[in-house]
Structure formats: C-alpha cells, structure tokens
Amino acid sequence: MKTLSYDPLYLFIDGRWLDAEGRDTVAVVNPATNAVLGRLPLADASDLDRALAAAERGFATWRRTAPAERARILKASADLMRERVEHIATLMTLEEGKPLVESRDEVLRAADYFEWFAEEARRIDGRVVPANRPGVLQLVKREPIGPVAAFTPWNFPAITPARKLSAALAAGCSVIIKPGEESPAAALALARALDDAGLPKGVLQVVFGVPDAVSSQLIASPVIRKVAFTGSMPVGRLLAERAAAGVKPITLELGGHGPVLVFRDADLDAAAVGGAANRFRGTGQICISSTRFLVQRDIYPRFTERFVAATRALVVGDGLDASTQVGPLANARQLAKMESLVEDAVRQGARLLTGGKRIPGPGYFFEPTVLADVPMSARVMHEEPFGPIAVLRPFDGLDDALTEANRLPYGLSAYAFTRDARTAIDVADGLEAGMIGINQYRIVATELPFGGMKESGIGSEGGAEGIHHYLVNKFISQI
Ligand code: NAD
C-alpha cells in the first residue's frame, strides 16, 4: 500500500486561503490508522464576520452575473473535479475511510451535480400572467434568495457539499459552507476547483469551527437568507428553530432507517446478496441505506442464510487497499454506538448471526453485523444505526409489512423486492418515503430529487426541484 500525502487545510474566505496561523486548530485523523493527517484551522467570530461581509458583497456581484456565465464557471469546475478525481478521492479515503473505488465514484457524481445545475442555471425562467385590466403587464420573476449558510456532515465529504453548492451557486446565491470537521479536505478541493474555474471572490466561503458557535452566529446574521443542513435529527431541529427566529427557509436532510420489503416472489439474490452489499457500503454510514430487512415468512430462512453468507464474504480493511469493500467507521463515537446497539438487541433476545464486535488493532473497525428476529423493543428498531448493522425480521402480509415500514418518524428511503406488478404498485403507493427503489438498491441520480418525508427532512436536493429552494418569487405589475 502506498503512503499518500494529505492536502494542507485552510479556511476559504473572500477569495483567500487562510491557514492555521493565529487560529485554534483541530486534528484530522485517518479512521483506518488513527494517524493525524493534518490540523484544521477553526474560524473565530471575527473570521465569521469577515465571511458574512464577503458573502454579502459576493451576492451583489453574483446575482447580476449572467446565467450563461454562472453556468460556464460551474461547468468548468466540474471538468476540474473530474481531472482531479484521483487526488480528491485519495484525500477522501484518507480522511473518511471509504474504499477508494467509492471515493472516486463520489467525486465523479459530485462533478455531475455541478454540470447538472450549470445547465439548470440557464433555465430559471419566469411567467407573463394575463391581467384583468387592459394595458397592464404582469411578470413573475424568480430571483436568487440571497446568501446561504450550509452545513454538511462527514460521511459524504464531496457529494453533500456538492448538492448544496451546485444548486445555490447556479441560482445566483453566495454561500458560506461549514463542512464536517472530521473530513474537511474534499470540500476544500471542490472550493479549489470553483476558485480555479473563475468563481468571483466572496461568492463562496468555506469555514470550519465549533459547529454550534458557527451555526448560531451565521444563522442569526441578517446577511443570511437561507439555511441548508444535512446531519442528525436533533441538530436539524435546532437549526430549524434558529432559522425560524429569523423567518429564514431551511432545507433539511436528517437521515432514515430504510425498510426493505422482500416478498416471496422476489429475486432472492438481488434482494439478499445485493442487500448485504448495500447495507455495508460506506460502513453503513449512509442516510438512505437499507437497514431494516422485512422478509416474507416462508422465504425468511433462505433469505437470512444468503444475507449472512454475503455479509461474511465482505472484505473489511483500509480503504486504500484495492481489495477492501468495507472501511472503518468514521470516528470513535460511531464505534461506541455500534457496541451499545448490538449489546442492547442481544440482551433483549435478538439472534446475532455474524459480527457484533470491534476489530482489534488501530482504526475504528467494526465487524459487519447481522441481527435476526430483533425484538421491537430493541433500540436498533427505533434509532438509525448509521453503522454496519443489519436487522432482519419476518412478516406475513403486505399490510403488516407496510405498517412496520412506516412505523418510524423517518421517511427517507425504502426498498421492495417483488416480481408481481400489483404488489410493486401497492407497495410504492403505501410507503411513506421520499425515495423508493423497487427491485434495486442503487437509486440516487443527479436528475432526481433527493430528500425525505416526515421527520427525515424538508425539501429535496438535486433534480429539477433542487434549485427552487434557492430562489424567491417576485411579481412586477406594470402599466
Ligand atoms: P451530528 O448531527 O452531530 O453532526 C453532523 C454534522 O453536523 C457534523 O458535520 C457536525 O459538525 C454538524 N453539526 C453538529 N452540531 C451542529 C450545530 N449545532 N450547528 C451546525 N452544525 C452542527 O451527527 P454526528 O454525531 O456526526 O453523527 C450522529 C448521527 O447523526 C449519526 O449516527 C446519524 O444518525 C446522523 N447523521 C446523519 C447524516 C446524514 O447523512 N443524514 C450524516 C451524519 C450523521
């Protein structure tokens, strides 16, 4: 395995790359080895004031920049991200731990969002509405909402910032983004590509800091007109309250506990072998992951056997190693959480079919874990595991399956496997989820809206819908 270098870390404010000189710092750690990769400068209150002032000036410039020019810069940044895919993917694997093949895929998909929204920038049109009186011209315009404060987590260090930045910048907004402090280099690499592509200074600032201090200062500022967050429900609620105090709209993506309904006529390999691959992808730290496998009772034993065999075959290791399929967890918090969820489920009567333990040695490794017949009282039936744990339970009929699938306040992703068209239609109709895969797990696409129902979030990112949150309506009635 090669020893690879990590980029120096900065804040990016008003077109300047600011280093750690005179600032507090926090260590960024490789979760596969516990090695310190670098020190991340943290913004203080005066840095954030500078970022706000720059975003205000940046907005004044960018909102008047022709959509075609905005599109040109975003498209050029996408090309640079693609050229730099190996470098950015390596940074991401070092700081987040996912296998290099997944990091590459994520960088390329992040670039696709910039290209998609570059094209959407040119289609922000309005309406001419016939008036009730003669001689009156009524126009409806859609304008950029204003400077955006965006907050993204550590699990998808490139694509989550990309979904927010690409749409907001295409709309003509300026942005201050605070990516996760645990995996900061990928977002900085996207900012570098935008800077190199000619984004005017002040249009984008990237800051890191004490998360609560950063969000309270930014959201309270009158400069900020829109908030976007991806992360946990408690933090999402907190930021929604702060945004509400200033009557600022917020887009939220807050995770899920994705049910998978496997009916007796399903393609069992697609459901079980594909299910294990999907459940443990990203070490299970994926908000749209398939987590609760609900299997029709008569095929439950066969499904379980294949699922467990496929889980045992997964290769766990450092993401830089080409054979690795499952990397480490992102941090020590996640390790402790997995141990406690497994211990609780087993104590309450779940059958531990494989895994269940930390893997000794350096790094935050946890065995891919399958729990069957998990009692409804177990915590893992209620809390998003956000790690390498799959839970399996049998069901009898469609109604039972839908009741269990929709039981939780989450409504992000859901999946179903059946060869029967009637069942597929009824299931898709009955599932309370923003994103549904029928007979497949890999469902996300640039051109589709990504977002949840119920407490999983507000609004969606990506697709033709993704730009609307960054626009406001204005009508002009003219005689
Ligand atoms: P968290 O919500 O505390 O942190 C997620 C991100 O939000 C981090 O980047 C963090 O810096 C930021 N954050 C935290 N507090 C903040 C605040 N007051 N203001 C602004 N930003 C803030 O989650 P975590 O401890 O990193 O992970 C715990 C759980 O969160 C996970 O187990 C999972 O359930 C959920 N999570 C969901 C996603 C997702 O994609 N929806 C991503 C990460 C974590």
Return the domain boundaries, the chain.
11-255+455-478, 258-407+413-445
Q: Which atom in ligand 1 lies closest to the alpha carbon of residue 330?
A: 26
Tens of pLDDT, residue by residue over 331-341, are 999 999 999 99
Q: Which of 115, 181, 253, 384 is catalytic?
A: 253
Across 147-166, average pLDDT: 98
Q: Contact, 198 vs 65, CB < 8 A?
A: no
Residue 337 CA to ligand 1 center (angstroms) comes to: 14
Tens of pLDDT, residue by residue over 265-281, are 999 999 999 999 999 99
Q: Is the pLDDT of residue 151 over 90?
A: yes
Residue nearest to atom 2 of ligand 1 (CA): 232
Q: Contact, 428 vs 434, CB < 8 A?
A: no
Q: Contact, 284 vs 392, CB < 8 A?
A: no
Distance, in Å, from the CA atom of 383 to the CA atom of 219, rounded to the nearest integer, reads: 28
Residue 405 CA to ligand 1 center (angstroms) comes to: 24
Q: Contact, 347 vs 371, CB < 8 A?
A: no
**Using alpha carbons only, how large is the chain's radius of gyration in Å?**
23
Q: Contact, 96 vs 107, CB < 8 A?
A: no
Q: Is the pLDDT of residue 451 over 80?
A: yes
Here the tokens at position 430 are 């009955």
Residue nearest to atom 4 of ligand 1 (CA): 231
Pick the CATH number of 258-407+413-445 from 3.40.50.920, 3.40.50.2300, 3.40.309.10, 3.40.50.970: 3.40.309.10
Q: Contact, 60 vs 147, CB < 8 A?
A: no
Q: Is the pLDDT of residue 424 over 50?
A: yes
Listing DSSP states for 124-168 in one string gives ---EE---SSTT-EEEEEEEE---EEEE--SSSTTHHHHHHHHHH
Q: Is the pLDDT of residue 3 over 80?
A: no
In the chain, the amino acid numbered 198 is: G
Closest listed residue to residue 48, CA positions, set 198, 171, 163, 149? 149
Q: Which of 106, 181, 287, 384 is catalytic?
A: 287
Q: Is the pLDDT of residue 34 over 50?
A: yes
Distance, in Å, from the CA atom of 414 to the CA atom of 406, rounded to the nearest integer, reads: 9
Tens of pLDDT, residue by residue over 159-182, are 999 999 999 999 999 999 999 999
Which residues on neighbouring strands pair with residue 471, listed in sequence order? 144
Q: Which CATH superfamily is domain 11-255+455-478 in?
A: Aldehyde Dehydrogenase; Chain A, domain 1 (3.40.605.10)
Residue 211 CA to ligand 1 center (angstroms) comes to: 10
**Helix, strand, coil distribution of the chain in percent, nearest 5:** 40, 20, 40
Residue 309 CA to ligand 1 center (angstroms) comes to: 32
Across 357-381, average pLDDT: 97
Residue 426 CA to ligand 1 center (angstroms) comes to: 34
Q: Which residues 6+ apart lie within 8 Å of 66 measured at CB?
A: none
Tens of pLDDT, residue by residue over 279-321, are 999 999 999 999 999 999 999 999 999 999 999 999 999 999 9
Q: Which atom in ligand 1 lies closest to the alpha carbon of residue 387?
A: 32
Q: Per DSSP, which regions of 212-354 are E strands?
A: 226-230, 250-253, 258-262, 290-296, 351-354
Residue nearest to atom 44 of ligand 1 (CA): 231
pTM of structure: 0.97
Per-chain mean pLDDT for the chain: 97
Distance, in Å, from the CA atom of 460 to the CA atom of 435, rounded to the nearest integer, reads: 10
pLDDT at residue 330 in the model: 93
Residue 157 CA to ligand 1 center (angstroms) comes to: 12
pLDDT at residue 190 in the model: 98
Provide the total of helices (H) and of strands (E) in the chain, helices listed first. Answer: 13, 22
Give the pocket of ligand 1 (CB within 6 Å).
151, 153-155, 180-181, 211-212, 215, 230-232, 235, 238-239, 253-255, 287, 333, 384, 386
Q: Is the pLDDT of residue 191 over 80?
A: yes
Tens of pLDDT, residue by residue over 93-108, are 999 999 999 999 999 9
Across 442-465, average pLDDT: 96
Cα distance between the two ends of the chain = 72
Q: Which residues 6+ apart lie within 8 Å of 293 measured at CB?
A: 260, 262, 275, 279, 303, 307, 390, 391, 392, 393
Is 56 catalytic? The answer is: no
Distance, in Å, from the CA atom of 428 to the CA atom of 205, rounded to the nearest integer, reads: 41
Q: Which atom in ligand 1 lies closest to the alpha carbon of residue 236?
A: 2
Q: Is the pLDDT of residue 5 over 90?
A: no
DSSP 3-state of 344: helix
Which residues on neighbouring strands pair with residue 435, listed in sequence order? 413
Sequence length of the chain is: 479
Q: Contact, 475 vs 431, CB < 8 A?
A: no
Closest listed residue to residue 144, CA positions, set 233, 49, 249, 258? 249
Is 253 catalytic? The answer is: yes
Q: Is the pLDDT of residue 429 over 60?
A: yes
pLDDT at residue 1 in the model: 44
Candidate of 106, 154, 233, 235 to mutate for ligand 1, largest count of ligand atoms within 8 Å of Cβ: 235
Q: In what order do the strands lie in the sheet with 11-13?
A: 16-18, 11-13, 204-206, 175-178, 148-151, 226-230, 250-253, 457-458
Distance, in Å, from the CA atom of 363 to the CA atom of 237, rounded to the nearest integer, reads: 32
